[in-house]
Structure 1
Amino acid sequence: MDRNTFTGLFLIMIIIGVSVWIMKPSDAQIKKEAELQAQLKKGKKPGAATKTVNLDTAKLGPKPVDSAMLKTPFGASLQGVEKLVTIENKDLKVRLSTLGGRIYSVELKNYQTADKKPLVLFEGDDNKFGFNFAAGVASINTSERYFTPSAQGLQVTGQDSSAITMRLSYSPTQYIDYIYTLKGEGYKVGLVIKSTGLDNIVANAGSITLNWQSSLRRLEKSIQLDHQYSMIQYYDTDKDFDYFGDTKDDAKEINDKKLQWVSFKQHFFSSVLLSKDGFSKSSLSVSTDTSNHKDIKQLKANLTVARNSDGTYPFDFYFSPNRYSLLAAEGHGFEKQINLGWGPLKYINRVAVIPVFNLLTKFNWNYGLIILALTVILKLVLSPLTYKSYLSMAKMRVLKPEMDEIKAKVGEDNPTLLQQEYLKLYKKAGVNPLGGCLPLLLQMPIVIAFFRFFPGLFELRGQSFLWMHDLSTYDSFINFGFNVPFLGDHLSLMCVLMTISTLIYTYFNNQISGVTGQMKYVGYITPIIFLGALNGYPAGLNYYYFLANMFTFLQQYIIRLMVDDKKIHAQIQENKKKPEDPKKKKTGFAARMEEMMRQQQQAQASAAKKGK
């Protein structure tokens, strides 16, 4: 290294050293950076506000209002400051807003969301409740007016009933009151709308049309089930129940009957508005904002109700869990919000499954053990049908060599004749070819009933068993981080186990029945389809199907020890030796089959003659 090079490097080092010294951060900057790193470690975003906001104080300053508007009826109510007033009991924390006098938010104190946050059904300006009316030339929307609470910033608690009044004033002696009541426990919030001294000012005071709308928050782990179980439900004064909006956005106008209540239903929680005298006209709609991942659906209801004889409009809000026993105890047909299936399925669940389940819960077992006990009881009840089905399949398996001989003699070119020969063989052997199918068909309604029972079972929410942290939702052991066609963004371990057990069951079932050809492989397709269909369903449902398969294996093993194929074959041969009783009437099925065969033979003979 020559002198010039050394001198250049030395000068560069001096420049770098001076620059570092000049540009070094001050003590205040070092402290600020340390605070920033601490915030990042706690999960806060850089620059996020750290001050606490008291929701029971003013949120916004007074809005500017045109002075001319202040002189219109109720003009003074256009100006004000939004404040929140809290009323709560053992189960609910309800916040009322002075803007619109409405319920601003509802928290169920004894429950949490899937990510362990306070369970707030709704909150904020996307949720509205109020009505429009005309006062002179002015059109008044109560949702845009400021009410005065009975006590500013009051927090009402206690075991007895509590009440708070939100007042929309026209004058000191003329006003509209929203009177809210809340008992010491329970999920009912009473609301009475009362008008005082306004009959000569408010037009058409005999009825009002409420505008109620809510943006449903995502509360559960599975957004698929949240969407599927979120909808509008309603129950009319004739005790007819209906719902819509579960599968697509929709709207309904109901003017031909009175609705007793309307429910904004979510998977495990509901907001219900009830009018004892009924809503005479109803306009309902469900919409989905696909760009919003925080909220599930937006529900709206415009409900017309007549004034009561005492000049009031009485209502009840119910903000409650969708627990069947709780809703049934409330009355008013609230339990119909839980979908137990259509037709006979709901009666199976209502009359048999729910009482047995409720009996098992009294033992205070883990819900995984309760599902196990429920499966054992079901399998014991269905064991006679399972035995009959296995016995019928065993008979068909024993007859298989003789059926193959008939097929070789007749050939496959004449299917009508082949079926006739088969029927003759069945008749002589005393075998019903449908004997194995009928018991299975009788079991299908029960299997489908459980498909409706478990996904809507509130008791499973948050209950863990083995590796399953929540039996009411899927147990993902692989999260893909992106959507995979057919499966979604995860893979459920219990669903995989259920699928494997169903495939094994299908294999052994084919061995028992002796099925061959393409039908041998058809049974393997259904479990694969169920893997995709049930992957997002509750672990409790897949756990039940897995247990059902396991107990079916056990039942078939025991039955196989009891059933001897040689004895069955000997009995069939004895039946074939017996002479046919001419007085014995043919069964409806046999008669129809023979008639069908006869008609097919005639058709084939006619076609052969025409061909000649």
Structure 2
Amino acid sequence: MDKNTIIGIVIVGAILIGFSVYNGKQAKEFAEANRRQDSIAAVEAAKHAPIVAPVDAPTASEIQAKSDSALVSSMGASLGTMGNALKGEESLIDLENDLIKVTISNKGGRIYSVELKDYKTFNGQPLVLFNGKNQVFSMNLFLKEAVETGKFYFTPDTDAKLITLAEGDSVKSITMRLPVADSSFVDYKYTLRKGSYMVDFQVNMVNMAGIISKQATSIDLKWEADAKQFEKGASNENNYTSVAYMHSSMEFEELSARSDEKSETVPTQVKWVAFKQQFFSSIILAEKPFSNIVVGFTKDQNPADSVLKRMHANLTIPYSAQDKGPINLQFYFGPNHFNTLSSYGHDFNKLVSIGSWIVRWINRYVVIPVFNFLGSYIASYGLIILLLTLLLKGVLMPLTWKSYLSSAKMRVLKPEVDKIGLKYPKKEDAMKKQQEVMSLYKRAGASPLGGCLPMLLQFPILIAMFQFFPSSIELRQESFLWATDLSSYDSILQLPFTIPMYGDHISLFTLLMAVALFFTSRISYAQMGDTSTQMPGMKFMMLYMMPIMMIVWFNNYSAGLSYYYFLSNMVTLGQTLIIRRFVDEEALLAKLRENVKKAPAKKSKFQQRLEDMARRQQDMKKGK
């Protein structure tokens, strides 16, 4: 490994250190923001708290009931028939297929909650994407005055409390009706098909042309839901919980998940909006693009709620009184599984965080197909990761060989380079020294970049794996050895306290990865030989700083990722030891010397530029 290779490693290390420091700073700011908000909340509570608390303090539901009662009093008379729908009691109806159970409420005619049947939370509870008590889905209709459909009680077209797809059924529907006038009403029709995570949502305005304001050109839609904790590592899951959307131009964007609070106004039209978490998403898709979009989230301030963030989206749907057709929307409630999302089109698969550009290409067309192929034959994902590692390292073996051989050439030529250095000891002869060194390398058939370039070619795969494993739902709740969930951290010891940036547990796979990295770095450092003395701090960086940094950084990451990096380092270690046995450095040096004798001292373009530069410098000195 030559000097250029080491410089490359130092740069990568610096990037990793910088990222680690940045994460630490973000965590500190995060904690401070929480402390300030708690303090402000406490002060505000103290300001408004009565001296003597009432015996029967009103609950949130009672406050809402009073609000609705006031709404009935103020709007009931002016709305006529529609005003009667402001009164009622909430009731729920389940619409389900083999994959999901969609609970629909007559209050607002909205989807109250969604349960994914094939998945459980980290503690074994049913996986319910959002809780209806805190879920908001409401449309603003511009009649004589603006009214929110979420305040009204719809009437279902069935008395059944459960509508399920029986054997032989391919589709089931339920319609929720909001009466507006004697023969005018708004219908919400929900349709669910067998084997699908998609719910068709159709809004029909029946005989509403004379009721909807002629000036109205759109309908405003408000959608809010809680993103609950489903995974063991809440902090890591929170880093993937955000709001994403797809422009009509099919350009994907996602709000930064590392913020405590984020809101964004989108100036262009949007095809769909998603409330995205690490492994599951809720998506609303429009037949006609949304406009006037405001999306965002706020972090939940009460950890006991098991809610990560409160998501919100305000959207506008184009519609006028003259429109006769229905408003067609769709919901996707399901897993962030790449192939599943791909099957529905609309670029839903971009919700899976597998990187961008070349990294995403590697994951999409290489890693995921190989991973799925192995998964169709092997039940243990620990073995699948092992085989995947061996396959990738086998494919990259020619690059590993080339990198080692190039480093060996530079190492055996070091005495010849030192002789040139003794020949030009003066600083003003540095250019001549460089010219002669480059001429030596060229005639010998060695390249200073020969060891670095193969490593750089492997770097995208390293990053691809870093993106793939934490986002791979296949690893979710899959156990291997002591790791109970390869998609989350493994823990062999729970600490009674939390170490900043490290956590409250000890991950064994992370420790093994760091040990493997130490030994591979030690061999690489030994290969540098005397060249290591030119960079005094390199030994500490390679042998100690990098492994320690990896322990801190990866302790809360996916166990599958740490396991992969451990295997990768062990295979690299084995490959290096095997290659070393096949490379005779004395024979290699003899061959390089023979090359120097045979090769004509032809100047390369680079060498010619160096000479021209030196000549210009000499001319400038003479001019002075």
- TM-score, with normalisation over the residues of structure 2? 0.82
Residue 150 of structure 2, aligned match among 122, 143, 149:
143
Task: Give the aligned residue type for 2:240.
Answer: Y
- The C-alpha deviation readout for 1:236-256, integer Å capped at 9, x for no partner, is 333222222323233222343
Counterpart of 1:72? 78
Tell me, in whole angstroms, the C-alpha distance in 2 between the residues paired with 1:605 and 1:479: 71
- The farther-off stretch of 394-403 and 260-269 is 394-403
Aligned to 2:309: 297
For 1:397, the equivalent position in structure 2 comes to 411
Match of 2:503 among 477, 488, 496: 488
Alignment of 1:45-124 (within 5 A): 64-65=69-70, 67-73=73-79, 74-124=82-132
Distance in 2 of aligned mates of 1:366 and 1:530: 26
Q: Distance in 1 between matches of 2:137 and 2:345?
A: 25
Alignment of 1:482-561 (within 5 A): 482-514=497-529, 515-517=531-533, 518=536, 519-524=538-543, 525-561=545-581
Instruction: Identify the residue that residue 266 of structure 2 maps to in structure 1.
Output: 254
Measure, in 2, the Cα distance between the counterparts of 1:102 and 1:593.
Answer: 74
**Residue matched to 1:36:** none
- Shift, 1:371, TM fit: 1.0
Deviation at 1:488, TM superposition (A): 2.3
**3-state SS of 1:122 partner:** coil
1:325 paired with 2:339, answer yes
- Name the aligned partner's letter for residue 200 of structure 1: G
Q: How does 1:161-310 map to 2 (within 5 A)?
A: 161-203=171-213, 204=215, 206-248=217-259, 249-256=261-268, 258-292=269-303, 294-307=306-319, 310=324
1:191 Cα offset (Å): 1.1
Q: Are the counterparts in 2 of residues 251 and 283 from structure 1 also a CA contact under 8 Å?
A: yes
Q: 236-245 vs 77-86, which deviates more?
A: 236-245
1:130 equivalent to 2:142? Answer no
Displacement of 1:422 after TM fit? 2.9
Q: Deviations over 1:55-87 (max 9, x none)?
A: xxxx98996445453212122122211122222
CA shift digits 1:393-451 (9 cap, x unpaired): 11122122333444455448565454344324323432111111111111111111111
User: 2:155 touches 2:176 (CA, 8 Å); kept in 1?
Assistant: yes
**Code of the aligned partner of 1:304:** T
Cα distance in 1 for residues equivalent to 2:556 and 2:351:
22
- Pairwise CA distance, 1:120: 0.9
Q: How far has the Cα of 1:152 moved from its partner?
A: 4.2
2:46 maps to what in 1?
Answer: none
Task: Call closer, same or farther: CA 1:575–1:324 in 2, change over 3 Å.
Answer: same
| Sequence identity (%) | 39
- Contact 1:396–1:513 (CA under 8 A) maintained in structure 2: no
Query: Partners in 2 of 1:412 and 1:164 — Cα distance?
Result: 89
CA distance in 1, matches of 2:439, 2:586: 22
| Cα deviation 1:183-202 (Å, max 9, x = unaligned) | 23321111111122222222
Residues in 2 aligned to 1:296 and 1:69: alpha-carbon distance in whole angstroms: 36
Native 8 Å contact 1:416 1:601 kept in 2? no
Look up the equivalent residue of 2:344 and give its one-letter code.
E
SS in 2 for 1:194: strand
Give the SS at the match of 1:516: helix
Count of residues in correspondence between the two structures: 544
Give, in whole Å, the separation in 2 of the partners of 1:255 and 1:427: 56
Q: Which amino acid aligns with 2:76?
A: L
Unaligned 5+ segments in structure 2 are: 1-63
Q: Which protein is richer in helix relative to its size?
A: 2
2-side partners of 1:419 and 1:290: how far apart? Answer: 62
Distance 1:118 1:599 in 2: 72
Higher relative contact order (CA 8 A, sep 6+): 2
Look up the equivalent residue of 2:583 and give its one-letter code.
V
- Give SS of 1:396's match: helix
Residues 199, 205 of structure 1: 8 Å contact kept? no
* TM-align CA RMSD: 2.5
Q: Aligned partners of 1:374, 1:390: CA distance in 2, in Å?
A: 23
Contact 1:213 1:299 in 2 (8 A): yes
Deviations 1:213-244 (A, max 9, x none): 11111111112221211111222333222222
From the superposition, tell whether residues 62 and 254 of structure 1 become closer, same or farther in structure 2 (CA, over 3 Å): closer
Closer, same or farther: CA 297–609 of 1 in aligned 2, 3 Å: farther
1:172 Cα deviation (Å)?
A: 4.2
- Match for 2:589 among 569, 572, 592? 569
Deviation at 1:596, TM superposition (A): 4.8
For the 8 Å contact 1:389–1:439, the answer to whether it is kept is yes
Deviations 1:245-269 (A, max 9, x none): 323233222343x322111110000
Deviation at 1:287, TM superposition (A): 2.3
Moved more, 414-423 or 331-340: 414-423
Q: Distance in 1 between matches of 2:119 and 2:364?
A: 26
Partner of 1:366: 380
| Conserved 8 A contact 1:84-1:98 | yes
The alpha carbon displacement at 1:455 in A equals 1.3
Note closer, same or farther for the CA distance 1:110–1:126 as it changes in structure 2 (3 Å cut). Answer: same
TM-score normalised by the chain length of structure 1: 0.83
Task: Write the distance in 2 (CA, Å) between the matches of 1:421 and 1:523.
Answer: 31
Identify if the C-alpha distance between structure 1 residues 314 and 561 changes in structure 2 by more than 3 Å, giving closer, same or farther: same
2:613 aligned with 1:599, yes or no?
yes
Which one-letter code corresponds to 2:369 in the other structure?
Answer: P
- Gaps of at least 5 residues in structure 1 are 1-58
CA distance in 1, matches of 2:198, 2:360: 27
Letter of the 2:272 counterpart: W
2:264 is paired with a residue whose SS is strand
SS of structure 1 residue aligned to 2:109: coil
| 3-state secondary structure, aligned to 1:283 | strand
2: CA distance between counterparts of 1:462 and 1:418? 60
Give, as a single letter, the amino acid of the residue that structure 2 aligns with 1:70: G
Report how far residue 564 of structure 1 moved: 0.8
Specify whether residues 448 and 125 from structure 1 end up closer, same or farther in structure 2 by C-alpha distance, changes over 3 A only: same
Letter in 1 for 2:349: E
Cα distance, 1:62–1:411 mapped onto 2, change above 3 Å: closer
Contact 1:150 1:166 (8 Å CA) reproduced:
yes
Letter matched to residue 344 of structure 1: I
Deviates more, 1:296-305 or 1:407-416: 407-416
Task: Flag the 1:196–1:205 CA change in 2: closer, same or farther, 3 A.
Answer: farther
Give the distance between the partners of 1:424 and 1:157, measured in 2 at CA: 79
| Structure 2 contact 68–151 (Cα < 8 Å) conserved | no
The one-letter amino acid paired with 2:196 is G
Q: Distance in 2 between matches of 1:412 and 1:219?
A: 67
Q: Distance in 2 between matches of 1:597 and 1:114?
A: 67
Which residue of the partner structure matches residue 21 of structure 2?
none
* Residues in 2 aligned to 1:267 and 1:178: alpha-carbon distance in whole angstroms: 30
Match of 2:17 in 1: none
Aligned mates of 2:506, 2:349 — CA distance in 1: 33
Q: Measure how far apart 1:128 and its partner are.
A: 0.6
CA displacement 1:280-303 (0-9 Å, x = unmatched): 332222222344452112221111
- The answer to whether the 8 Å contact 2:439/2:601 transfers is no
Deviation of the 1:324 alpha carbon: 0.7
Separation in structure 2 between the aligned mates of residue 241 and residue 198 of structure 1, nearest angstrom: 36
Would the alpha carbon gap of residues 376 and 579 (structure 1) be closer, same or farther in structure 2, given more than 3 Å must change? closer
